Homo-oligomer: A and B are copies of this chain.
Amino acid sequence: MEFNPVSEAILRELSSVLGPDNLSTAEAERQLRAQDMSQHEAHLSEVVVWPGSGRQVADVLRIAHDNRVAVTPWGAGSSLEGNPIPLFGGITLSLERMNQIVALHADDFQVTVQPGIGYKDLNQALGTHGLFFAPDPGANASIGGMLANNAAGTRTVKYGATKDNILAMEVALADGRLIHVGSRSVKQSAGYDLLHLFVGSEGTLGVVTEATLKLVPLPNVMSGVVASFTSVAEAIAAVVELRSSGLDIAALEFIDAATSELLSREEGVDWGDNPTLLMEIHAAHAETAELDLALVQEICQAHGAIRFQATTDTAERQKMWHTRHHMFETMRRVFVDYQWQLSDVAVPISQYPALVQFARQALQTRNLPEFMVGHAGDGNLHITTPYQDEAVRQHANQANEEVVLRAIELGGTSTGEHGVGIGKAKFMVREHGETAVDVMRSLKQTLDPHGILNPGKIFVS
């Protein structure tokens, strides 16, 4: 891929579209957006721009398209696979200043937002209306970034991933056209599903400039459960039975023995040192919640649960999720001055015990610590490996690679929710086959003929 540098003439053109306060070539600004939360190497773009509207985003793309300049969109920088790193320099297109709620459609359970808003900030604003946006990746990701990577998180087992919670978008195309895709009607069968073509395309086909999201009414009663088991196999057998029970559990998380032990020690929770499930259950009435919890307990005990803690207390439940969501921060506190290899694979749930078993082996063989957690209800597994030297980093990467290939063999995917970014591009052909990847490339060529949008991502160059 060959791109032109951002010349003085291009800077003037950008400035005339955006106004002089909405672009910067300062190294500090470029440095701040040179790397996400992954292990991938930082790269500097040549200029950061902050458009304020869909039209301005489209104009930036038109300028880049006409001048063959690379453009890498930037949301909150919380991604984990190098997705927004500007590998080819050029323009960092930051959506940070487009962070407003455009319209709340409370009766329709919908909200229209700009892409730069953080989902946690959004949910805080929605809370007063008794509504929330369900996907919950943990870090305060921007909605635009969640759409770009099809982010998911802990509540996907009940509410789906980001792709299941989006209705309509405005999208700026590479050549500066602006289109609307999807509909505020929750049902639509009117032509090609352009909406889902752009969701998960990581800014390589277009840039989302506005999004109408599906919302969910805040449940009347939320319960939390911690259950521990003597083996991963028993824990997952319980997961399958819980999912068959019709309970429609809102979160169903797996924490392996080592991570349970670490979090119990460091965070003052009582999760022991066995494979553990964390759950959240949403109910319309208190009586229903009690019935649901009794059934959950029965199923867990049938699978030999050695610990069962259930609560409808908000503070206790929040403590549980805070501990889960801040696991990475806790590990960083324990492993000072370490770097991190983070893995994200997913398989059909029946293959989850085999995947976990394989992953343990891959880590043990290399004397790597076993820290595994996952969204068990969805068969999604994350391995977190701290390292300090190049040899351990290489081992961690090898283990990751083996686990990815095994997940694909088991009918799963190389990336459940982090996206392809830089690190997973080499697995695309293995996962989808040469022909399907050729089709993806032909769509990229159709929508971005000069390849200016987030170059170096998804496809091996």
Contacts and interface: CB of A to CB of B under 8 A. Distances in A.
Interface of A: 105, 107-110, 130, 149-152, 156, 160-161, 163-164, 173, 177-181, 183-197, 199-201, 205, 217-220, 240, 243-248, 282-285, 287-288, 291-292, 295, 346-350, 375, 378-380, 407, 411-420, 424, 427-428, 431-433, 435-437, 439-440, 442-447, 458
A240 B291 contact: no
Contact of A428 (B190, B244, B458): B190
20 contacts: A150-B188, A179-B439, A183-B346, A183-B413, A184-B347, A184-B411, A186-B379, A188-B346, A188-B416, A190-B414, A191-B431, A192-B444, A193-B196, A195-B196, A217-B244, A218-B246, A246-B283, A248-B284, A288-B288, A288-B292
**Which of A190, A195, A205, A350 has the most chain B CB within a 10 Å cutoff?**
A190
A218 B284 CA distance: 20
Contacts of A246: 217-220, 282-284
A425 B201 CA distance: 28
A67 B295 CA distance: 62
Contact of A179 (B244, B378, B435): B435
A412 B244 contact: no
Given A107-B240, A177-B435, A287 B284 contact: no
A81 B240 CA distance: 40
Contact of A413 (B164, B185, B380): B185
Given A244-B217, A245-B217, A350-B107, A205 B190 contact: no
A37 B436 CA distance: 34
A413 to B, nearest CB: 4
Nearest to A240: B107
Contacts of A181: 432, 436
Contacts of A164: 160, 164
B245 A284 contact: yes
B219 A179 contact: no
B446 A443 contact: yes
Contact of A184 (B178, B193, B348): B348
Given A105-B348, A109-B243, A163-B193, A187 B413 contact: yes
A440 B192 contact: yes
Contact of A183 (B180, B186, B217, B411): B411
Given A107-B240, A189-B418, 4 more contacts: A109-B244, A150-B188, A179-B439, A190-B420
Given A152-B187, A178-B435, A436-B194, A348 B110 contact: yes
A320 B195 CA distance: 36
A416 B350 contact: no
Given A185-B348, A189-B200, A295 B285 contact: yes
A195 B200 CA distance: 12
A139 B310 CA distance: 45
Contacts of A107: 240, 349-350
Contact of A196 (B177, B197, B220, B418): B197
